[in-house]
Amino acid sequence: MPVCPTVYLNGSFLPASEARISPLDRGFLFAHAAYEVTAVYGGRFVDLAGHIARLSRTLEGVSIPNPLDPPGWQMLHADLIARNGMDEGLVYLEVTGGAYDTRDFAGPETFTPTVFAYAEAKPLIGEKARDGVKAVFLNDMRWKRRDMKTTQLLSQALAYRVAKGQGADTAFMVEDGFVTEAASANAWIVTKAGEIITRDLSPAILPGITRSGVMALRETGGFTITERAFTPDEAAGAAEVFTTSAGAMISPVTHLDGKAIGSGKPGPVTRKIQRLYYEAMGADVSVAAPWVLERA
């Protein structure tokens, strides 16, 4: 889907075709930048407060001053979708260390951030949520502070390319014999006993906002969720596998390394989580995702 025509850059809304960022910007030269992607459904933001809180933590962690307070970020997001008339899709926000007159690794004592945001109109509940995706296992070669949502995404981009070359949609990253995450999402498995397992929070994984949303459904859904690392063999032998992210929300994984997970179709636990999450964000599932109501 194309980017909506109006974007935000350093205090101004302007046509995307007119937005200009310096080639000396630290985001371009050093990947010295934080970002967030927030879903919009029915004209409302999904978990925006969580995204803003994580952005603040990442900015502090990478020494970039936070240019706005939470109400300011909320207003920026609201203004952006209003100016574009967007009812459903994603808002991408990036904050970099700014541009200076030289390429200096350390940079100035205090950075003046570059702030850029755009909206992308797209359906959030589609075929991949209905039918599931295929994944492959890959060695995790990313940096060691994955809990910060920075733009250092080369390893993830290459992982997607490898997965695509093997006929899959995404990759499950493996480090020291355990799955860390999917290429750009948190990873979950459901055991044959119905226990849901996802990796515990640490610098090894991103504290996903959608992950947090699923955790909040524990009581409503009657789920047993255990936070611990799991192995590729556990994932391959699981009854169900799914991922969570702002862009894809709850995405069933039907195949790993070419082998079917369970029946090779999205399972009942994943479907229940999808239904509850979609309902929590205000979706009429009988219209947007009637397949979550079907019996397995």
Active centre residues (catalytic): 149
Is 182 in contact with 172 (CB distance < 8 Å)? yes
Burial class (CB within 10 angstroms; exposed 0-12, middle 13-18, buried 19+) of 251: buried
Residue found by looking up tokens 């970002």 in the block: 35
> What is the DSSP-derived secondary structure letter of residue 205?
S
Instruction: Tell me which residue of 273, 199, 190 sits closest to 235, measured CA to CA.
Output: 190
For residue 132, the one-letter residue type is: G
State how far Cα 136 lies from the chain centre: 18
Q: Which residues face 91 on adjacent strands? A: 38, 119
State how far Cα 174 lies from the chain centre: 18
Please give the Cα distance from 255 to 228 (Å, whole number). 22
Please give the Cα distance from 211 to 216 (Å, whole number). 9
Half-sphere exposure of 116 (CA within 13 A, CB side): 20
Residue found by looking up tokens 């967007």 in the block: 86
Is 209 in contact with 47 (CB distance < 8 Å)? yes
Polymer length of the chain: 296
H or E element that contains 33? strand 33-41
Please give the Cα distance from 93 to 119 (Å, whole number). 9
Q: Are strands 170-175 and 133-139 parallel, antiparallel or unpaired?
A: parallel
